[in-house]
Structure 1
Amino acid sequence: MDAIAKSRPTTHYPTRARLYLLGVAAMLIAGYLAHSRLLLRQIEAGSLDWRFNVRGERPRHGDVALVLIDESTLARFGQWPWKDRGIHARVIDRLKSAGASVIVFDVIFSENADSAADAKLADAVARAGNVVLAGFSPGAGGTRDGIPSISSLVEPIEPLARAADVGLAMAAPDPDGSLRHALLLAVNAETGKPIPQLALAAVLRRQGMSVSELSVNPGRSLRIGDLAGVPLNSQGQALVNFAGGTRLFDVAHGGAVPYVNVHDGVLAPGSLSGKIALVGFGAHGLIDVHPNPFSEDFPGPAFNAQVIENILHGEFLSTASTATDLLLLVLVGLLITHISATLRPLSAAGVTAVILAGYVGVALWAFIGGGVVLAIVGPVLSGGLAYAVVTVRRLTSEERSRAHLRRHFASYAPPEVVEQLDSGVVAERMEGIEDEITVLFSDIRGFTHIGSQMEPRRLVAMLNRYFTAMTEVVFDFGGTVDKFIGDGLLVLFNALVKQDDHAKLAVFTALEMQKRVKRLNEEWADEGFPRIRIGVGIHTGSAVVGNVGPRMRMDYTAIGATVSLASRVEGLTKDFGTEIIITRDTLEQLGGLVEVKPLGPTEIRGIDEPVEVFGVLGPAGAEGRVEDGDSDRV
């Protein structure tokens, strides 16, 4: 017979290597976005604020005594600015008497007021000998030797500048306007001299050091004598470790003293012993406020107080290096890529969520426990993108393959079996298993003679109608069409899907096939097609079933002696004049559902022992039987 074998395509899922390449691409995209996009950098900054709030506020160290020019002070001395700077002179005297180690004025005195009052203030500054005054710069000027530079420095008026140290009053808000970093040291672009920020100038005065004694490693660290080094970022800024928000530094909650009270002598001698007194604005309309992680209106004097305490106690936050952040990004991305490429999407989603949540937990622990800031956005984005691109690639590829598979199997398996192709059980059986199956083999008797008498197109048309009718019967009983071999048909039961009654299904399929052939003959009588008869052989036994063949042309089939024996049994139908023959192995599973006629042990080529076979007469108790020995054979 001519072999007209079908082929079924294999599933073309993306290889593991391709999925890993997609994951790597996701990591590269995540790294680029996290470091180059302002929005993501702001989200990263927001994640730092979140860490602060999870940690919560903590008590201040108390090294700085804040003295605020608040509403009560303005009510006493009038609206700012005051021409009588002698008021400040009295406050300096009071603070010195209270034992302040350093007196810092976060107030600009860049213009002359009343000459007598200015002289009085200058005398008080000189008497105290520990005053730091604020200067300011009209603008930044890039960097110089890795240190931020300012265009120029506007100092206090000459008598004050001569009697006091000067620190730069300059905030360095992030792009979102929040204060998170302190610019501790800058270079005056006009003179080339280093200028300490106001808080650093206060600490230098307390330590008895000059700015020239600082040890600076640009972009890395700043060391102030025997104090702990201050970590710096690439812009020369230090990341401030805030104790809390505004309430820790305001008058209402005891974090500051009203300026007027100090002026009036409420401070007892020695009450500020060893402390740095910091004078600044606290009244609305005068105060320079920015958001910080805890408050929307964190005042400038409070910021300077916090920076001073961070310097004295070595509490600035340490930011992980870019290399560390990239390493974490890659590790998280690779791990989730592997998870996404190996687990089912839903399981991978759960594991991915656990990994990302775990990483965020580690970053939170590093922040709270060690003051180390690990990047969150980059690694989380890397893992999320890796999961997304790998999963989408898998799902789209698998869906295309499943659709392709369904289209092809629709010709060889019933719809209910095709619908189960996605199940794990069917997938396992397609990959290859050994199981007991029932094999049905049929062919048209005398087909060679029939074919030689017919015009090719009519022959093909007749075969197509015949196979269509037989396939419909097979599908009705849940069988799988394995092959069309010339005029022959190979059908498997208990192959693609589990069928406990596979022997019964095969036998009743054969009985129905005989009925359909008779109806076909009746239809063809008026069309000039020859009358046909078929023989059916059925055997039950163990076989290996699965997709077999090269990747580009795979065939779902059965392998083993069971298949060849069914074919040989079908050949006996001609010898015994019986339309359906089954073996004892099949009969033993029927439980008396059909009537059979013993045909005795029979020698079969290729089989060592005689095989006991039986002719099927019909369903048990049925009036009509399959006719044996019909003389009208083709």
Structure 2
Amino acid sequence: MKKTLRKHAVPIALGMLVLLIFLLHAAKIVAIPFMQNLETISYDARLRLTMPQTLDRRIVIVDIDEKSLAEEGRWPWGRDKVAALLEQLFGRYKVAIVGFDVVFAEKDDSSGLNTLERLGRTEFKDIPQFQSRLAQLRPQLDHDQLLARTLAKHPVVLGYYFTDFQGRASGKLPEPAFGTGSFVDSSSVFVTASGYGANLAEFQRATGNAGHFTPFPDFDGVARREPMLIEYGGAYYEALSLAMVRTLHGAPPIQAVIEQDSGGETLEGLRVGKLKIPIDENVSALIPYRGKQGSYPYISASDVLHGRASAGAMAGAIVLVGTTAPGLMDLRSTPVGAVYPGVEIHANLIAGMLDHDIKEKPAYMLGVDLAQTLLLGLLLAIFMPTLNPVRASLLALGALLWSFGVNLALWQYANMVMPLAATVTMILTLFVLGMSYGFFVEARAKRQISGLFGQYVPPQLVDEMSDDPGSFTMEGENREMTVLFADVRNFTSMSEGLDPKALSKLMNDYMTPMTRIIHQHRGTVDKYIGDAIMAFWGAPLADTDHARHAVTAALEMQRTLAALRPQFIARGWSDIRIGIGINSGMMNVGNMGSEFRTAYTVMGDAVNLGSRLEGLTKVYGVGIMVSEDTKNLLPDIVFRELDKVRVKGKDIPVSIYEPLGPTEEVGPSKLDELRQFQHAIELYRARQWDQAETCLQSLQQAAPQDTLYPLYLQRIARFRADPPAADWDGTFVFLRK
């Protein structure tokens, strides 16, 4: 063990340095800049993964939506309408409590009472009838007093907000939850405010209950938490959700849950009766999102006003009055939606408090995170550099699974939030460091593979093979493969007209793009035989699509050569054309030769047939010819049957085909021509010479450049004069290669 540690001292030391950095980050001594972003991403992912995504009918949102604004007029509505809304909720629908996610900050002059009173003080001050009638109407027309009287009758919690604008204060604040100086010894960092926007004094006096709905977005603008207490003027004011839960429980005073430690007092939670609300270092509660928008029933405010809502949907419910209308600007960015109603955030908090389902981050979680970081970091830093890639990957995977498992278990079953991103990032960093140390070993393996196969296979296959060099050998073995032979036609006569330099340049300019195409289609170049190229697919790297890669490579070779041909002619070179033969089957592949020279090549009957097919392309006037074995492996490529032949050295007839391309690329006219030719071949093999000749003549007339149809017409003429044997099955016999 000591020898191993000494051998890997450098990567182990680097791993220890990485561990130290992450330990300092976990202890909040050093901040890694991007880690805060990763931590919020991981928090949001855990939240979305574990949300119940069910409908909670205990809390109903009465929505001042677009429909309500269209029916009742723009906001703010008259206080008489708000009072009517409350009377409907408590009288008709029997709700338990109502909270307002809106502020009533200005007086309501919509009834015209101010104008009547001004007239009563001026023009009509001496008219008793006017004064009497005004006195009778005043209670009905004073909408603010009407709303105040309604508020006093029912359990209603008003909403208000705090602001950072110095000196901005309107309305009347409720009594603070905690007085000045309550937490002077606490290490908690309260959200502080410089101003506020509250409700009219008569409303606040009427109900006595109010809570702030001040947003507290994270650094990225996303609402993940809500301050339960905000400090203003030295006193501390409760949130709307907390005030509603407290009102539901008979309005007991809020109790602070204090944790004493060496650093002093830490405010760890707030208690309302038997309910404990966990809070973080900013005295904020993590919002327990139930799901995306719509996790609580929404009822249009206008439907409540006009009695159109279902009574059963709200009986005994906790009601929040808020808005989803975009123009009223109460939409926030959250982990569960980029546009999310603020009123539903309060609903989530109320449900979380009632269900004891608010996540907590106790002070001791810092120690747990430090211990886990230390243990996992030591394990990986010491052992990662000493392991092979597979075992190192398994070790890193095990550490990741442990980290995810512990974290999710604490999240789901203990309702605790433990940092995750830093631990995962440390594991991945140590893994990358360990793998980087093993780079030289991998590079050496790659050089070995390149030394064995680099002259045959393309670089991308060398990269794949170097991942597991032990799996490849140059020893002979049998495999199902595909072989390709490509040969330049009339090369001898073409070369006679060129000087050696021009011929060399011609062959280089021809061979290079052809070889590149073979490599791009995962082929192995066996050898160059003068002007011919021999290549195969399926070795040394296994290839289940060997036939497809070979045929698509051949098609591309012909297309590329057709594009190069004008350039060659412009240089004074010949009109180069090639024939390509392809066959698939069992072949022997490996290092073969003599004690003086060996080569990694393929041998066997299937290879020989591929060579014979290349030679037959000249006879049939086609650029590519494949065997039936290759054709049967490619059902989605269109082939033209050329013939059934018996080549020299083979007793069994072979069906030969010309590939035309993928089915979707072959046009209807070509498919029709194929059907006609197939019919002509059937007539030919049935010795119906006249009908076959008629079909072939029609095909020749439509495609005079195709040399296949004249070939069959010549055979028919010969068979008329010298009929084939009685047992003839349509096979054509070639007596030479």
Please tell me the TM-score bracket, short chain as reference: 0.5 to 0.7
What is the distance in 2 between the residues matched to 1:271 and 1:349?
55
* CA distance 1:373–1:215, shift in 2 (3 Å): closer
Check the 8 A contact 1:287/1:300 in 2, yes or no. no
What is the distance in 2 between the residues matched to 1:229 and 1:338?
44
Q: Deviations over 1:179-235 (max 9, x none)?
A: 1112111222x2x32210111111111112255545465755323233332222112
What is the distance in 2 between the residues matched to 1:216 and 1:313?
22
Question: Which residue identity lines up with residue 269 of structure 2 in the other structure?
Answer: L
What is the distance in 2 between the residues matched to 1:193 and 1:273?
37
Structure-1 residue corresponding to 2:85: 91
The answer on 1:230 being equivalent to 2:273 is no
* CA distance 1:372–1:213, shift in 2 (3 Å): closer
What is the distance in 1 between the residues matched to 2:56 and 2:294?
15
Shift of 1:121: 1.3
Check the 8 A contact 2:252/2:273 in 1, yes or no. no
Structure-1 residue corresponding to 2:95: 100
Structure-2 residue corresponding to 1:160: 203
Structure 2 residue corresponding to 1:118, chosen from 119, 132, 144 = 144
Structure 2 residue corresponding to 1:127, chosen from 142, 148, 153 = 153
* CA distance 1:207–1:68, shift in 2 (3 Å): same
Check the 8 A contact 1:139/1:151 in 2, yes or no. yes
Counterpart mapping for 1:53-92 below 5 A: 53-82=48-77, 84-92=78-86
The answer on 1:186 being equivalent to 2:181 is no
Question: Which residue identity lines up with residue 247 of structure 1 in the other structure?
Answer: G
Counterpart mapping for 1:132-151 below 5 A: 132-139=157-164, 145=186, 146=188, 147-151=190-194
Shift of 1:90: 0.5
Question: Which residue identity lines up with residue 118 of structure 1 in the other structure?
Answer: D
TM-score, normalized by length of structure 1?
0.55
* CA distance 1:157–1:367, shift in 2 (3 Å): same
The answer on 1:25 being equivalent to 2:23 is no
Structure-1 residue corresponding to 2:429: 385
Shift of 1:86: 1.0
* CA distance 1:248–1:266, shift in 2 (3 Å): same
Q: Deviations over 1:420-447 (max 9, x none)?
A: xxx99xxxxxxxxxxxxxxxxxxxxxxx
Structure 1 residue corresponding to 2:319, chosen from 277, 284, 293 = 277
Question: Which residue identity lines up with residue 27 of structure 1 in the other structure?
Answer: L
Check the 8 A contact 2:67/2:300 in 1, yes or no. yes
Check the 8 A contact 1:366/1:372 in 2, yes or no. yes
Structure-2 residue corresponding to 1:372: 416
Check the 8 A contact 1:221/1:229 in 2, yes or no. no
What is the distance in 2 between the residues matched to 1:230 and 1:20?
45
What is the distance in 1 between the residues matched to 2:75 and 2:317?
27
Question: Which residue identity lines up with residue 335 of structure 1 in the other structure?
Answer: L
Structure-2 residue corresponding to 1:304: 346
Question: Which residue identity lines up with residue 294 of structure 2 in the other structure?
Answer: R
The DSSP-based 3-state class of the residue aligned with 1:290 is strand
What is the distance in 1 between the residues matched to 2:23 and 2:217?
24
Shift of 1:343: 1.1
Check the 8 A contact 1:42/1:175 in 2, yes or no. no
What is the distance in 2 between the residues matched to 1:61 and 1:72?
23
The DSSP-based 3-state class of the residue aligned with 1:153 is strand
Structure-2 residue corresponding to 1:460: none
TM-score, normalized by length of structure 2?
0.48
The DSSP-based 3-state class of the residue aligned with 2:291 is coil
Check the 8 A contact 2:380/2:427 in 1, yes or no. yes
Which structure has the higher relative contact order (CA within 8 Å, separation 6+)?
A: 1
The answer on 1:246 being equivalent to 2:293 is yes
What is the distance in 2 between the residues matched to 1:215 and 1:140?
31
The DSSP-based 3-state class of the residue aligned with 1:186 is strand
Check the 8 A contact 2:268/2:279 in 1, yes or no. yes
Shift of 1:398: 11
What is the distance in 2 between the residues matched to 1:140 and 1:21?
52
- Higher alpha-carbon Rg: 1
Structure 2: tracts of 5 or more residues without a match: 114-141, 167-182, 260-264, 448-468, 471-737
Check the 8 A contact 2:246/2:272 in 1, yes or no. no
Check the 8 A contact 2:270/2:279 in 1, yes or no. no
The DSSP-based 3-state class of the residue aligned with 1:375 is coil
What is the distance in 1 between the residues matched to 2:426 and 2:360?
23
Counterpart mapping for 1:340-489 below 5 A: 340-393=384-437
Structure 1 residue corresponding to 2:298, chosen from 238, 256, 280 = 256
The DSSP-based 3-state class of the residue aligned with 2:374 is helix
Question: Which residue identity lines up with residue 117 of structure 1 in the other structure?
Answer: H
Check the 8 A contact 2:68/2:301 in 1, yes or no. yes
The DSSP-based 3-state class of the residue aligned with 2:337 is coil
* CA distance 1:310–1:266, shift in 2 (3 Å): same
* CA distance 1:38–1:231, shift in 2 (3 Å): farther
Shift of 1:176: 1.5
Check the 8 A contact 2:299/2:309 in 1, yes or no. no
Shift of 1:102: 1.8
Check the 8 A contact 2:162/2:214 in 1, yes or no. yes
Counterpart mapping for 1:500-515 below 5 A: none
The DSSP-based 3-state class of the residue aligned with 1:372 is coil
Question: Which residue identity lines up with residue 412 of structure 2 in the other structure?
Answer: I
Question: Which residue identity lines up with residue 228 of structure 1 in the other structure?
Answer: L
What is the distance in 1 between the residues matched to 2:94 and 2:255?
26
* CA distance 1:94–1:213, shift in 2 (3 Å): farther
Check the 8 A contact 1:69/1:258 in 2, yes or no. yes
Check the 8 A contact 2:217/2:224 in 1, yes or no. yes
The answer on 1:334 being equivalent to 2:351 is no
Check the 8 A contact 1:215/1:222 in 2, yes or no. yes
What is the distance in 2 between the residues matched to 1:305 and 1:57?
15
Q: Deviations over 1:302-353 (max 9, x none)?
A: 0001101111111001236222222222222122223313312443134213
Shift of 1:76: 0.9
* CA distance 1:210–1:369, shift in 2 (3 Å): closer
Check the 8 A contact 1:106/1:279 in 2, yes or no. yes
* CA distance 1:271–1:56, shift in 2 (3 Å): closer
Question: Which residue identity lines up with residue 22 of structure 1 in the other structure?
Answer: L
The DSSP-based 3-state class of the residue aligned with 1:178 is coil
Structure-2 residue corresponding to 1:591: none
Structure-2 residue corresponding to 1:624: none
Q: Deviations over 1:130-184 (max 9, x none)?
A: 111111112299x964243322433201111111212111111111221111211
Structure 1 residue corresponding to 2:249, chosen from 201, 207, 219 = 207
